Amino acid sequence: MISWIPASAGMTGGMKKIFLIALIIRLVFIYIFRNVTNYDLQSYLQVGELTLKGINIYPEIANLHHPYLPFFLYVEAMAYWLGRSKIIIITIIKIINVIFDLGILNLVYRLSRKNLKTTFLYAINPVTILITTLHGQFDVIPVFFILLSIYLLNKKKELTAVLSFSFAILTKTWPVLFLIPILRELHTCHSRGGGNSGTLDPLLQGDDKLKKRKLLLLITLFPVLFTILYCIFFKTNPIDIGKTLISYQGLWGIWGIWDLLGKQRILIQKLSTLIFLTSFFSYSWFNKNKNLLKNFLNLLLFFFIFTTNFSIQYFVWIIPFLILIKPKKYFQLIILITFYLLSFYCVWLFNLNLINIQNILGLILWLSFIKIGYLSKKIA
């Protein structure tokens, strides 16, 4: 299927073909799914309209429709202002998502050392395409800035890498999960002395504690700045925004072992979430793989195996790392994820509720994450 793509890393013409194919596929899928509606797309419309009218959405509306920092709501407002109908508004938002997805494609090309076969695999992967063009979720935006941070760190451009990571947190707060490996890599780069104009050296004069404070300050730059500006212009309290972020935890009990345990009280849900986060950051602390791509993939495998809270759009996070690292059985995992997504999307596409199939596929997929996680650790 991909034998026409040369293995040579310098095929600029080949990359242009891949880029064009990826663009056409995504635009065609946007057109095919133009009439699809779901809770998230309705939320975009509601939040966009209210923001455009200057109405504060935190905390009540945001708790249900925008549990994020104040950034994407401006995109929704812009789309609402430009569009004259629901279809046009949603199409604009999806096209913006596709732009960032194509940005990920470019980063996969660069991070794979311009490997065209790897790049083509990302270009046609159905997981990202479905979540971006059908579901309409914008997880590709923080994923883009995460990968950009890794790429910039590889180039020893620490300052721009930190700013990119800061923007990733602004778009969706889950990149905070990768804070420890990012800080560790920044410390390593600084210890080596950098060596170009992008280094953080001029900004990190002083002892180690002071350096860490400056790094943390830079990482919080965009979240703090956009929160302050929103509070000024929309006359709200930053505490209300903070409450929204803290209260959001995805859907509990629909994935992995937690799905097997059934319904539980809110206290149990919160306690299990706290235990998971503690375990995750502990694992992140001891996971000292110097290759950031492999480090992030290990963290994502840990997340999908043990997470208490889940949403299907989370699969966007792991796809570029699977394709770049290529652990054993990764292709089968992508296929399983695709079928699992389709079992959810059948409700929107054909009004078919496949809850039993979802449960079976979900269990198989979860066990597959465990298997690939084990094989990855064994190989390492």
- Provide the pLDDT for residue 259: 80
Place of tokens 């794979």: 112
Establish how many alpha carbons lie within 13 A of residue 166's alpha carbon, considering only the half-sphere containing its beta carbon.
20
Residue 335 CB contacts under 8 Å (≥ 6 apart), including other chains: none
Tell me the C-alpha distance between 233 and 201, whole Å.
35
Q: What is the pLDDT of residue 199?
A: 47
pLDDT at residue 194 in the model? 47
Distance between CA 330 and CA 53 in Å, rounded? 46
Q: Which residues contact 239 (CB under 8 A, 6 or more apart)?
A: none
Residue type, 288: K
Confidence of residue 11 (pLDDT cuts 50, 70, 90): low
**Closest to 64 (Cα-Cα) out of 81, 46, 49:** 46
How many Cα atoms are found within 13 Å in the side-chain-facing hemisphere of 191?
8
How many alpha carbons fall within 13 Å on the CB side of residue 76? 26
Which DSSP category does 220 fall into?
T
Give residue 154's pLDDT. Answer: 93
Non-local CB neighbours of 252 within 8 Å, separated by 6+ positions: 258, 264, 269, 272, 273, 308, 309
Mean pLDDT of 219-243: 95
**What percentage of the chain carries pLDDT values higher than 90?**
72
Angle between helices 12-32 and 86-111 (to 10 degrees): 150
- pLDDT at position 211, please? 65
Lowest mean pLDDT among 1-10, 53-62, 119-128, 261-270: 1-10
Which of these, 119, 138, 145, lies nearest to 314 by C-alpha position?
138
pLDDT at 319: 98
Mean pLDDT, the chain, rounded, equals 89
Contact status, residue 46 vs residue 65, Cβ threshold 8 Å: yes
